[in-house]
Amino acid sequence: MMKNFPVEKFESLDTPFYYYDVNLLKETLSAVASEAAKYDGFHVHYAIKANFNPRLLRVVAESGIGADCVSGGEVLAAIAAGIPASKVVFAGVGKTDKEIAASLDAGIFCFNVESLPEIEAIEALAAERGVVAQIAIRVNPNVAAHTHANITTGLAENKFGVNYEQLNDVIDCVEAKEHLKLVGLHFHIGSQILDINDFVALCDKVNELQRMLKETRGLVLPNINVGGGLGVRYDAPDEYPVPDFAHYFETYAKCLHRYEGQQVHFELGRSIVAQCGSLITRVTYVKKGTRKQFVIVDAGMNDLLRPALYGAHHNIENLSSSAVEETYDVVGPVCESSDVFDKDIQLPETRRGDFLAMRTAGAYGEAMAFGYNCRALPGAVFSDEI
């Protein structure tokens, strides 16, 4: 279990820090690229918001996959890391003029648009520059992904995308613009999806919508972007280090009806980077309460927010002890009652100074870190650099 962590090298490092297993990252990238390559016209874009560490982004760029961005900063980070602008897609409900302008100047592949006023803004900025922007319309397919309420995005009540009732007006609007070219439809139903039937349900919706658009307006678009959301096994990082990309792409190949020449785009974030990262923290104190024992670590909710934000679970391992197990709550030092990583878990008897690893923390971990309580941001250590 501890073989993957060079604990003796951690001794001289400041904690907490994210530790990235570069071999596992590369293995995962090569799996996602080779499984997608089995199908003609499948393209993978890494969803940068899962982890935008510049070193990690360079490894992603080397794999040859594209990028999915949700801010102008991410568009620039993708390009700076070496991902060609021609493989960058840009989604988000609130793209500002500045972000749109920078993306037009960079020459990104496509804007995934989410509203009529956004279309007007992109048209105006593209006209100023005398360029034509490629547009995909983000459609809200009203599919309920079986995941946490805060990370489903494809329901009619979410802020994302265009609802079916408005879709024809939005298509008309894009088609009427001189500096916009409608090139696709975009969907994204949520994150941490482990039930493959949710993706089958999305395919059914996309098929039905494509049939309707073809019948009612003779419209067939060259690109279908089905978003991301493939989940990872937080409960079993060593048994499932690389997600089952083969089954994922096979499902789309089987269930998504493609018209001739149609390209299919995927935006995977979590499934590419989650398992390669762990948050390494040291035990500051072990405190005995009346009914509980608390392991107080030097990482807090500001370093890894997911447990406090979504009640998310990360396996926690003691890298320094193999003594008999006891029951602990593992908590951070931040002045918030929600600064708890896990409750009533079994760990080998734990002492001050022990190293703990919070596993499966490569996605939405470092990327969500913040400086509350004047705390320094966590460091990042790559396995091939120490």
Ligand X SMILES: *Cc1c(COP(=O)(O)O)cnc(C)c1O
At residue 183, the 3 state secondary structure works out as strand
Say if CB 104 and CB 180 are below 8 A apart: no
Element (H, E) at 107: none
What minimum distance in Å lies between the beta carbon of 307 and ligand X?
Answer: 17
Among 241, 269, 277, 365, binds ligand X (CB under 6 A): 269
Whichever of 187 and 355 has its CB closer to ligand X, that residue is 187
What minimum distance in Å lies between the beta carbon of 192 and ligand X?
Answer: 6
Closest CA to 97 of 121, 132, 115: 121
Other Cβ atoms less than 10 A from the Cβ of 157: the count is 8
Among 66, 72, 229, 332, binds ligand X (CB under 6 A): 229
Element (H, E) at 81: helix 72-81
Residues 54-113 touching ligand X, rule: CB under 6 A, are 68, 70, 91
Whichever of 5 and 252 has its CB closer to ligand X, that residue is 252
Whichever of 191 and 318 has its CB closer to ligand X, that residue is 191
Closest CA to 293 of 303, 284, 285: 285
Whichever of 358 and 367 has its CB closer to ligand X, that residue is 367
Among 71, 103, 191, 281, binds ligand X (CB under 6 A): 191
CA separation (Å) from 77 to 43, 67, 109, 189?
20, 10, 15, 25
Is there binding between residue 184 and ligand X (CB under 6 A)?
no
Among 74, 267, 317, 339, binds ligand X (CB under 6 A): 267
Among 188, 258, 265, 282, binds ligand X (CB under 6 A): 188
Q: Is the peptide bond before 307 cis (omega within 30 degrees of 0)?
A: no
Is there binding between residue 114 and ligand X (CB under 6 A)?
no
Q: Determine the Cα–Cα distance for residues 148 and 145; give it in Å rounded to an integer.
A: 9
What minimum distance in Å lies between the beta carbon of 47 and ligand X?
Answer: 3
Is there binding between residue 50 and ligand X (CB under 6 A)?
yes
Whichever of 68 and 99 has its CB closer to ligand X, that residue is 68
Q: Determine the Cα–Cα distance for residues 365 and 233; give it in Å rounded to an integer.
A: 16
Closest CA to 91 of 108, 64, 106, 71: 71
Among 44, 47, 232, 330, binds ligand X (CB under 6 A): 47
Element (H, E) at 33: helix 22-37
Whichever of 271 and 318 has its CB closer to ligand X, that residue is 271
Is there binding between residue 154 and ligand X (CB under 6 A)?
no
Residues 208-227 touching ligand X, rule: CB under 6 A, are 227
Whichever of 269 and 378 has its CB closer to ligand X, that residue is 269
Q: Determine the Cα–Cα distance for residues 258 and 261; give it in Å rounded to an integer.
A: 8
- Residue nearest to ligand X according to CB distances in the complex: 269
Phi-psi region of 131 (alpha: psi -120 to 50; beta: other; left: phi over 0): beta
Say if CB 240 and CB 271 are below 8 A apart: no
Whichever of 78 and 91 has its CB closer to ligand X, that residue is 91
What minimum distance in Å lies between the beta carbon of 348 and ligand X?
Answer: 32
What minimum distance in Å lies between the beta carbon of 211 and ligand X?
Answer: 24
What minimum distance in Å lies between the beta carbon of 186 and ligand X?
Answer: 7
What minimum distance in Å lies between the beta carbon of 231 and ligand X?
Answer: 7
Q: What's 130's DSSP letter? A: T
Tokens, residue 43:
């393209």
Is there binding between residue 307 and ligand X (CB under 6 A)?
no
If binding means CB under 6 A, how many residues of this protein chain bind ligand X? 17
Tokens, residue 11:
């001794």
What minimum distance in Å lies between the beta carbon of 50 and ligand X?
Answer: 5
Among 270, 306, 314, 375, binds ligand X (CB under 6 A): 270
Q: What's 372's DSSP letter? A: G
For 103-171, give the DSSP string. Answer: HHHHT-SEEEE--HHHHHHHHHHHHHHT--EEEEEEB------SS-GGGB--STTSSSSB-HHHHHHHH
Element (H, E) at 283: strand 277-288
What minimum distance in Å lies between the beta carbon of 112 and ligand X?
Answer: 7
Other Cβ atoms less than 10 A from the Cβ of 106: the count is 16
- The site for ligand X (CB under 6 A) is made up of 47, 49-50, 68, 70, 91, 188, 191, 227-230, 267-271
